[in-house]
Structure 1
Amino acid sequence: MGKKRIVVSGTGCCLVDRLYNNVSFHSEAFRSCSCRRAGDGGLSPGHLVLREEFEEFVKKEVRVALDELTEGRKPDKVNIGGPSIVSLIHAAQITYGLEREVRFYGCHGSDETGKFLLSSLQKLPVEISHFKQIGDLTPSTDVLSDPTYDNGHGERVFINSIGSAWDYSPDNLDDDFFQSDLVVFGGTALVPQLHDQLGELLLRAKENGCITLVNTVFDFINERKNPKKRWPLGKDDESYRNIDLLITDKDEALRLSGENTIEKAMQFFIAKGSGAAIITNGAKPVMFYADSKLFGKTGPGELPVSGTILEKIRQEHYRGDTTGCGDNFVGGVIGSLMFQLAEGKERIDLKQATSLGIVSGGHACLYIGGTFFERYPGEKLSCIEPILNDYKRETG
């Protein structure tokens, strides 16, 4: 009996990353741009700030501030970024050999950045016929990376321009989107109209029998609006009931739940009705938990980061950064779900999916930027497989 054809449709944040590596977060220029309180528009390691808010905070144009922060350097790399598209690209790359279709629904502007983004996506194994030109300004992010931060584990800050994503609405999601095996909403806090109606979109997907996955991004809009109030996910907490798998990092989990520990945040997500949740925490262990028909009852459990990856990062010739690690983690989880669904599994192994996510996120540390451009189909899978085999031995 052959494997089932798998269709994945995703929407959310897609943009151009301008990556600046080796920017010291301890420099005087960085300290002068650092936040004084949550949501004030200043820079904070690991967090995102909107361009308009940042310019208001530093009282200068972002280009001027970037020249000071980077000592006038040009970006080390310009690449495809965004929690939605990067995760989908990785999932498509590592499922080479499966009968599958990975679709992305999103938008770009009419500017040169948009032309670069469109031409780059055309080289990758994601179906983009629903990637539309809306407005003039393509979403983009300036990413500053300090590989020495956090005792050498590295961290980034993000200055984001939402651009035409302000105008991207649920009306752009057609019936085919909701007829997929797996529907993924990634980083919708940077696509405001999708984020506001996330509850309704999740409900429609579930009513059509889709598996739903939500991966989050730092919600600066709601952080700025009310830094003391927990972030909404859609209009209200009913959104959680229609999420089969929620993937978030520690900071986002705490702000979404209003709790002060990962453990309590996990309890919040499960209590609100999410079928399963995964919370990442940088170089620290990943927490996972499930209690649903799709995943069965699993955890709460923890898995460490990859020892093989940590060893590669410690090597002197290491030239990567942490940009896109979280997005590739999500792509690894999506890829594992695709493999398991193609095998006809009625119950998904969440630990297995988390393991592929950890290896995928770790591998993204070994090159600059989140998106990996393959020299041949299957190249990224061939890079991931030996690390995954090592990881299975590491974790038993």
Structure 2
Amino acid sequence: MLKKKITVSGTGCCLVDRLYNNVSFYSNAFLSYSSKKRGDGGLSPGHLVLKEEFEEYTKKNFQVILNELTAGRAPDKINVGGPCIVALIHAAQITFGLNSEIKFYGCHGPDENGSFLLSSLQKLPVNISHFKQMGNLTPSTDVLSDPSYDNGHGERVFVNSIGSAWDYSPENLDNNFFKSDIVVFGGSALVPQIHDNLVELLQQSKENGCITLVNTVFDFVNEKANPHKRWPLGKNDESYPNIDLLITDRDEALRLSGEKSIEKAMQFFIEKQTGAVIITNGAKNVLLYAGNELFGRVEMRELPVSDAISKRIREKVYNGDTTGCGDNFVGGVIGSLMFQLNEGKMKLDLEAATTLGIVSGSYACLYIGGTYFEKYPGEKYELMTPVLNDYKKQIK
């Protein structure tokens, strides 16, 4: 009997990433443009700032500052970026051979960056027939990466132009979007109209029987508006009960919950009736919990990062950076959910999904940028398999 086709539809952040590696966060230039207080528009390791706000903060043209920070060099890599599209690409790459389809709903401008995104995405295994041209400017991010930061674990700073993503609205999501097995809202804080309507969009997805997954991004719009209040996820907290799985990093979890520790943040998400939650924490342990029909009951617990990859990073046996690690983590989780649905499982295994997420996120440290262009279909999963096998031994 032919197995049912698994469909995944995602909307949210898709942009051009310009990556500058080896930018010291301890240099005088960097420190002179650093943030002094929350939401002021300055640079802050691990965080995102909007280009317009950064220019207002520094009273300088961004290009002038970028030349100063990078000594005028060209980007080390220009790549497809964004928490939604990068996660979907990775999920599509590792589920090669599965009877499935992954669709992305988003937008680009009529400029050079838009042409770059279109031509790049055509080489990748994601359906982009709903990737529309609108507005004037394709969303983009300049990513400054310091691999030596945080005792050699590395960190990045993001300067983002939202561009035409300001214009992208829920009207662009058709009925088929809400008929998918899994719907993904990825980095919606950088697509403001989608973010503001998350409550209704999640409700509609749940009413149609979709599995809902939300992965977050640093929400500079709300950080600037209310630096001392917790960030809303959509209009209000009604989003949470309609999320089957929330994936967020430590900083974002603390800002969404208003708490001071990730354990208390997790408690906040549980009290808001979020189905399941994974909180990543850079090179530290990942925290997970589930209490819904989809995953059953998983008490709050931790999983470590990959020792094999950490060792390669410490010994500098790689030429990569940490850009896209979180997005690939999400892609690994989505891929695992797809594998499990394909097996016909009624109750999904959150630990297995987190395991593939951890290995996917770790593996992304070994190359520059979030999106990996395969030489042949299935190559990436093949390359990751030894790391996955090592990791399974590690957590036994």
Give runs of aligned pairs for residues 310-329 of structure 1, distance below 5 A.
Answer: 310-329=310-329
Q: CA separation in 1, counterparts of 2:131 and 2:352? A: 32
State whether structure 2 residue 65 is matched by structure 1 residue 65: yes
State whether structure 2 residue 166 is matched by structure 1 residue 178: no
Length-normalised TM-score, structure 2 = 0.99
Report the alpha carbon displacement of residue 81 of structure 1 after superposing the two structures with TM. Answer: 0.2
The alignment of Structure 1 onto Structure 2 pairs a total of residues equal to: 396
State whether structure 2 residue 259 is matched by structure 1 residue 266: no
Residue equivalent to 2:127: 127
Residue equivalent to 2:29: 29
Q: CA separation in 2, counterparts of 1:2 and 1:387? A: 32
Consecutive aligned runs of 4 or more in structure 1 exceeding 3 Å deviation: 1-4
Q: Could you tell me whether the CA contact under 8 Å between 1:4 and 1:341 is conserved in 2?
A: no
Q: CA separation in 2, counterparts of 1:79 and 1:318? A: 19
Q: Which consecutive unaligned segments of at least 5 residues does structure 2 have?
A: none
Name the % identity: 74
Give runs of aligned pairs for residues 215-294 of structure 1, distance below 5 A.
Answer: 215-294=215-294
Residue equivalent to 2:104: 104
Q: Could you tell me whether the CA contact under 8 Å between 1:329 and 1:357 is conserved in 2?
A: yes
Q: CA separation in 1, counterparts of 2:54 and 2:22? A: 21
Residue equivalent to 2:12: 12
Report the alpha carbon displacement of residue 317 of structure 1 after superposing the two structures with TM. Answer: 4.0
Q: Could you tell me whether the CA contact under 8 Å between 1:4 and 1:344 is conserved in 2?
A: no
Residue equivalent to 2:201: 201
Residue equivalent to 1:49: 49
SS in 2 for 1:189: helix
SS in 2 for 1:78: strand
1:324 alignment partner AA: G
2:368 alignment partner AA: I
Residue equivalent to 1:140: 140
2:382 alignment partner AA: S
Residue equivalent to 1:79: 79
2:283 alignment partner AA: A
Q: Which consecutive unaligned segments of at least 5 residues does structure 1 have?
A: none
1:118 alignment partner AA: L
SS in 1 for 2:176: helix
2:219 alignment partner AA: D
Residue equivalent to 1:93: 93
Q: What CA RMSD, in Å, does the superposition of the two structures yield over aligned residues?
A: 0.7
Report the alpha carbon displacement of residue 201 of structure 1 after superposing the two structures with TM. Answer: 0.2
Q: CA separation in 1, counterparts of 2:272 and 2:131? A: 33
Report the alpha carbon displacement of residue 2 of structure 1 after superposing the two structures with TM. Answer: 4.8
Q: Deviations over 1:83-141 (max 9, x none)?
A: 00000000000001100000000000000010000000000000000000001100000
Report the alpha carbon displacement of residue 4 of structure 1 after superposing the two structures with TM. Answer: 3.3
SS in 2 for 1:79: strand
Residue equivalent to 1:300: 300
Q: Deviations over 1:292-317 (max 9, x none)?
A: 11000012110000011112212344
Q: CA separation in 2, counterparts of 1:36 and 1:276? A: 35
1:257 alignment partner AA: S
